[in-house]
Structure 1
Amino acid sequence: MNIAIYPRKSKKDDNSESMEQQIDDCRKYINKTYPDANIIVYSGDYAITGHSTAKRKDFQRMMDDVRAGRINAVVIMRYDRIARNMRDFCNLYHDMESAGCNLISVSQQIDTSTPYGKNFMYQMANMAELEWAIISERYKDTAAYKIREGKAYTGRVPIGFKIEKIDGVKKVVHDNEEQTRAIFDYLLATKSKRGTVLWVRENLIPDFTRHKLDTMIKSDLYIGKVRENDHFCQPYFTKDQMEEIRSVNQIKYAPSGHIYLFSGLFRCPICGRKMSSFYSIDRKTKKHRQYQRCWFGGNEKLHKTKLVSEAKTEKYLLENLDAALKNLEFDVKKEAGKPKRNLNKKLNDAIGERERLNYLFEKGRIDIPEYEKKYSILSGKINSISEELSNNKVVRIEEFKKQIPEDWKELYEQLDQKGKQEFWHRIIKEFYLNEAFEITGFIFYI
């Protein structure tokens, strides 16, 4: 007779029985009730929630053994160790019952081999789901309150942040700021997530992964925001800067090994799709010629398409980049010269007003509907002023110009193909083409 023991613990630091205690209590029950049984322990689901069975790999392995008829009974401490979702529980128990496997709860002293035990088992499963729903709702309310107040609401934060007690309150603050900025700077410079991951592993964080980089790119913490609170913590970047990071055109490397200077920077003026890079060999000179073309137009004949030469594109930029940069700088400074309101004072006044509102709410001097209404209005006002302040294009263009020194043409000629590719992808976001596939302009990456 084979009997399985299945322990589970949702969190490493919660108050439920330890995995070892669950296994020990279940083993004692089996030794007393079924002394000749062969015991199999499935203990791989540590610190995994019981609301869903999808992520519990050891549980799935146990159920495979149950369905195959290799397990005669499953012993657990309580029914909520199996599932906190009534539908999952019923489906799982149906599979157990079909395979002739009993389910036994040690602490609740229920054995589903009896009619009474089977009926009571369903009642307990229903109560477990209700308990989970209440706990979940309570957690959401608590988290929402902490987020509004700028308090840490979870123990996990992305790279560049840590949780620290300030005046007795847990706050999310910067951590290894120089390292964090270096990661984003490298991503912006190379336009390669894979290259960034490899560089970070070699130079900063040995166990850095693509998942960690994606988490950093997606997280609003870097602009100081969590849900509706735009001032949850100190930001790394403005909203516009983070949008620039998220809109990075990744350099895609061709399987052939060819390095295309402008890969991903052209869109077809007819269908709007990104154009593809390819090369051909000049029959006379035997040299490679590289081009951009619309694959949908060229191969499927959906519309007429022409080739955009890489050599002509490079020549266009060498001749027009300086003038385009001067025009952009002139337009930005002209716009910035217009009189503006005292935004900093308005922002501080709005933040102070929101803090007073929080104080009145904590003291019980205003009710919830009034608090929520005023809080929403003030938050919207703060967001609007903050966005206007962060949109300082003069500062941004001065930073951008550092990437294009006065002698950039001489420096450019000394670069290899890879260096030239990275240079253009760092400063050019996209080209404009007319319907004749002629370059009419381009967008700077600022």
Structure 2
Amino acid sequence: MELAKKRVGVWIRVSTEMQVYDESPSVHRQRAKDYAASHDWEVVEFYQLDGVSGAAIMGQPQARKMLHDVRTGRIEALLFTRLERVGRDALELLQIEKELRDHGAHLISIFEEIDTSTPEGKKRFQDLASQAEYDRARLAAKVKAGIHTRMKMGQVFTSQAVFGYRKIGKTLEPHPQEREVLALMYELFLEYRRFKTVARELNRRGFRMRTGNEFTNVSVKRLLQDSTAKGLYIANRTGNKQGGGKVIKPQSEWYEIDVPAIISSETWEKVQQIIKSLEKPRKRNINAYSGLLRCHCGTVMYLRKNDKKNEVPKYFCRNCKNKIRLQVLDSAIGDVIEGFMLDTLPPSVLLEADPESEQIGRKLQSVKDELEKVVRKLERLVILWEDGEISRKLYSSRYDSLAQRQQQIEQELSALEFELLADEGREAAREKLAEAKAKEISWQELDGTEKSEILRQFVKEITLKHNEITINMLYVPKQLNTNELACKGDHTDGHVK
């Protein structure tokens, strides 16, 4: 009785348009057909992905089709030339292998001696899967460094030019038709000073976005705030956020590239001033003690503003029903702040520079300088390798050590920036206290936001225990030799004795 031939599917993936146009897929296809014929296998399907990156393939239609054929038993093995042609993400490769194994199928590589139906082939597959992801990460880092170098040289890397421009090679040029619409948009905004009015007028005149959609107040505002129109294109401004979406990068990572201007810098600046004047700051009623006040039982106390009995704002403990009026708490904290920090210390001491902050600032600048040197070395190394002046082995060894050092410096930089930010916050709080003392402003005269800014820089926690309020200080000026302040009294009559 003649045995049935093994049914195999052939996986073909090419990641660049150049590979597609060079007919690389047809070469892969013929090679797989010849290999299957030499083993007396039947090729029942080809899964071809043209111009698809190996970083993420599970969501591709051809990948879903292949997995469906595996689950239904249509194919018993997946044949490919090299594992990197399947994908370069180790986790996805392992998921594919497990999916095939669970349904009695396996992976077969033509050139790498991989056959996951055997223990040796499975071990070989796992090793190469890890290597494929490592190579992808190295390649991505090299490409990223090369792109940054070329951005510094004034080359534009963007898939689609902003409205009003078109991409020619690695440069941006004004679009013959769109430039007139963009210039008109600025003129209309200077006249009407309203985004919706400008959008409505552009639509009324028959103009549309590049997609064919009508202009909206959001699209008009975005285009008016884009500095490309005045001849300054900002590259590398955004990046991909983990989990999807975009995130704005730190300004230090941006690249400014000069392009032909559509409007004058003066016009652009006038428009920005108008936009800024239209922005109305949102007022928030800040509760100065929110999150700081705790009951002696350890429960965070919350503010109840609408007490049915007397409508007097009070802080309550949900656990033991301990309570205190907001007015009483504010008076007690004000006595401590004014007594220990305003009356005790003159304004000159409050405004005195903190030597530790200056030391952190100097160290921060030193670390930034070192990071810049390492980045320049990395960029130079990439250029040398691309120009063929150093070997791959030398490039790899130097790149790995420099990349590791860059990561260490960036971690150190983040820690220093966080520490400096805390010091800057305390400095702002000291200035606020000094200003209050100089102007003879009492604690009760400060608004909730001002109180909150001061408290969160100096106070770690406020604890209420019956008739005693304890303030655990997070930071105090060195002239005050204490970290814990307390005031006692009877809270029932609204006073602290």
TM norm structure 2? 0.41
Q: Determine which structure has more spread, i.e. the larger CA radius of gyration.
A: 2
